[in-house]
């Protein structure tokens, strides 16, 4: 018998990474369950249950988390839905779908993509002026380079301006060695790296060397500086709000996969 929960994703893109990225509303389904809960652990982890029945990912796999804390957070996201089930308002579930359907099967390419960011990481490129921006970059980004040096054994070189400059291969290799193999941590790190433009920010967050709010501020330092000088960009801020939800979901996965 066809799983009654498969229709949540009917007419949604079946490619899991594409499904995770899409934010448009497509044929929203009416909420058909009363309560979402975290189930007891099984072979696939702690399943998310809707009125006691399992949920399926776009690839028809069991939606289950490695820790009860993460499964409960996923269930709370389902409980927060109103009359309609809107995947665009479920960033944690979208990320979980991507991890289960894509990252778990092919972690190598995901780690490779994170490593590519290390070769031109956001925090190594520094402004030469004005003085206030230079000081702000040093304040927020120098600790990240110190973290890479002291905790990862990776000595990255600061670059003046925005022209590409190749980083020492030994620094990239040393940092890459700390990219997690666990698919949930890896998937969360991939999302954070893409959202921030910095694999070093993602690594620092994964290793609890920086708090989520500080990581977000570090990633948006240049944009915030420009708005402080020229005024708010409401369109940019609206886009940032949506990206922040995805960032918070990824940060939650990093934190909750460390819990039982």
Peptide bond into 256 cis (omega under 30): no
DSSP 7: G
In a domain, 1, yes or no: no
For the chain, what is the domain count?
2
Task: Say yes or no: 236 and 151 in one domain.
Answer: yes
Query: Domain of 232?
Result: 107-256
Same domain for 252 and 159: yes
Do 125 and 162 have their domain in common?
Answer: yes
- Which of 79, 103, 127 is the endpoint of a domain? 103
Sign for the pseudo-dihedral over CA of 200, 175, 148, 209: positive
Helix (H) or strand (E) holding 18, with range, is helix 16-21
Q: Are residues 130 and 63 in the same domain?
A: no
Residue 176 lies in a domain: yes
> What are residue 47's DSSP bridge partners?
64
8 A C-beta contact, residue 246 and residue 187: no
Q: What six digits make up the tokens of 239?
A: 């886009």
Q: What CATH number is associated with residue 144?
A: 1.10.3580.10
Q: What are the pLDDT tens digits along the chain (260 aa)?
A: 234 344 455 444 434 444 444 444 457 889 999 999 999 887 889 999 999 999 999 999 999 999 999 999 999 999 999 999 999 899 999 999 999 999 999 999 999 999 999 999 999 999 999 999 999 999 999 999 999 999 999 999 999 998 999 999 999 999 999 999 999 999 999 999 999 999 999 999 999 999 999 999 999 999 999 999 999 888 888 889 999 999 999 999 999 998 65
Rounded CA separation 212/128 (Å): 27
Q: Both 59 and 181 in a single domain?
A: no
Residues 143 and 20 reside in one and the same domain: no
Contact 121, 148 (CB under 8 A): no
CB 86 within 8 A of CB 111: no
- The domain that holds 44 is classified in CATH as 3.30.2180.10
């Amino acid at each position: 018998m066809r799983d009654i929960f498969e229709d949540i994703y009917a007419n949604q893109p079946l490619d899991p990474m594409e499904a995770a990225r899409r934010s448009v509303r497509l044929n929203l389904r009416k909420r058909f369950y009363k309560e979402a809960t975290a189930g007891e652990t099984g072979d696939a982890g702690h399943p998310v249950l809707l009125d006691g029945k399992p949920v399926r990912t776009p690839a028809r796999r069991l939606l289950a988390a490695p820790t009860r804390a993460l499964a409960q957070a996923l269930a709370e996201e389902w409980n927060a839905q109103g009359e309609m089930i809107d995947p665009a308002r479920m960033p944690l579930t979208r990320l979980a779908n991507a991890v289960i359907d894509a990252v778990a099967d092919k972690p190598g390419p995901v780690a490779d993509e994170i490593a590519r960011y290390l070769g031109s990481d956001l925090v190594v490129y520094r402004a030469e002026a004005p003085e206030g921006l230079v000081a702000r970059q040093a304040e927020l980004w120098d600790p990240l380079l110190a973290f890479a040096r002291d905790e990862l054994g990776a000595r990255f070189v600061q670059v003046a301006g925005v022209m590409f400059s190749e980083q020492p291969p030994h620094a990239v290799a040393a940092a890459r060695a700390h990219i997690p193999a666990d698919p949930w941590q890896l998937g969360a790190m991939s999302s954070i790296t893409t959202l921030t433009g910095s694999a070093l920010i993602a690594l620092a967050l994964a290793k609890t060397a920086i708090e989520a709010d500080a990581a977000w501020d570090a990633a948006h330092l240049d944009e915030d500086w420009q708005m402080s000088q020229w005024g708010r960009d409401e369109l940019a801020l609206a886009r940032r709000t949506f990206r922040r939800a995805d960032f918070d979901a990824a940060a939650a996965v990093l934190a909750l996969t460390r819990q039982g």
